[in-house]
Structure 1
Amino acid sequence: MSHPASDFRNLIIHTSRLTLRPPDQRDLSFMTALFAKPELVAHRPDPTPDSRVVTKARLAREISHWRKFGFGRWAAEADGELIGFGGVTQSEHYDALNLSYHLDPAFWRRGYAVELARAAVSYGTVHLRRSRIVGLVRPVNGASRRVLEKCGFVQEGMVELHGAPTMLFSLRTDVLGR
């Protein structure tokens, strides 16, 4: 189930501390600075920070996903300030939604990732009526693994993603009785 492409711009979610909205071109400068931070890309197989060209293509893919499916990763704001991106997307490799989140390191360890992830899980299960959501985490990224665990995800196994071992976590709502 997806929303008509014409109304996705109005899909704004409010949590206790976050405003989650579809990304748009005004986010390019922030996204470029975010994905240029070494600590944000440290867990990639190639931890080279993204260039503006690479980030521009990333933002175009995010917006394209929203146009195609009517949902996707949100731009996350706290107190009116953009702090990162996250949400669920249609997985290309799994029969599931894929949860991901990327927050500015200045906002790590404040519970924002868990808050964003819980909102995304709720949206995916309640509004999109999906029974499975996956999260992919590098073994060395303990903080991201803990976010998934706090949201009820369990590790299914190991997969290879972009040439590196990656932990596959999932949340099955059919097991939760939804």
Structure 2
Amino acid sequence: MEVVYETERLSLRAFQDEDVEAVKQFWGDEEVMRYCLGATAHEKLPLSLKAYRECHEAKGLSVYAVVEKETGTVIGAGGFNISGEIREVELIYHFAKSSWGKGYATETARACVELAKSHGGVERIDASVDPSNADSSKILEKIGFTYAGMEWFEDSQQEEAVYEIMLK
């Protein structure tokens, strides 16, 4: 499968059906997803992979498999949830616990911003962060996002910090 972006240690590519076992290590893990409405049921993961792959094909951006180049292993996901027009996208990133503390989230988030810039159609990237997830807020600030305030989210039934970066 075609690599959509590469960093020194990581590559981002569209999800493949065979990634489902690796994806269970982050999207299917309650601890990893504790700030994001909890783990996704394992039986629903193939549909998520297909939807993200189709989004990439239709819009040129999506959420991607993050592959550790050294091992060839899918260690996480990073990219954009897109609802509606491509002008405004939501950055997300999630990693298997075995990959925590290695700087992969920062590297992936930075790569995603560069990917959005190269796309040309994205004007604004936002990201919401559970108030208890200070690490994620630090990552966003480190790569140039600015705090835009607190916003109520119906899905999580709580206020979350919103960060944004303007590309145009």
TM-score (norm 1): 0.83
Q: Output the amino acid matched with 1:43.
A: Y
Q: Where in structure 1 do 4 or more consecutive aligned residues deviate above 3 Å?
A: 91-95
Higher helix share: 1
Deviations 1:120-172 (A, max 9, x none): 10110133342211111111111111111111101111222212221111001
Contact 2:4 2:12 in 1 (8 A): yes
Post-superposition Cα deviations, 1:65-96, rounded to whole Å, max 9, x if no partner, equal: 11221221111111111110101242449951
In 2, Cα distance between the equivalents of 1:51 and 1:130? 31
- The DSSP-based 3-state class of the residue aligned with 1:84 is strand
The answer to whether the aligner puts 1:113 opposite 2:105 as a matched pair is yes
Shift of 1:33: 3.2
Instruction: Choose 83-92 or 133-142, whichever is displaced more.
Output: 83-92
Matching residue within 52, 62, 68 for 2:42: 52
CA contact (8 A) 1:158 1:165 kept: yes
How many angstroms apart in 1 are the aligned matches of 2:161 and 2:42?
Answer: 29
In structure 2, list runs of 5 or more residues that go unmatched.
Answer: none
1:76 matches 2:66: yes
1:164 lines up with 2:158 in the alignment: yes
Query: 2:73, 2:160 → 1: CA distance?
Result: 31
Aligned identity (percent) is 26
Once the two structures are overlaid, the 10-residue window that deviates more, 11-20 or 149-158, is 11-20
How many residues are treated as equivalent by the alignment?
164
Superposition TM-score, scaled by structure 2 size: 0.87
Shift of 1:38: 2.2
Give RMSD over aligned pairs. 2.0
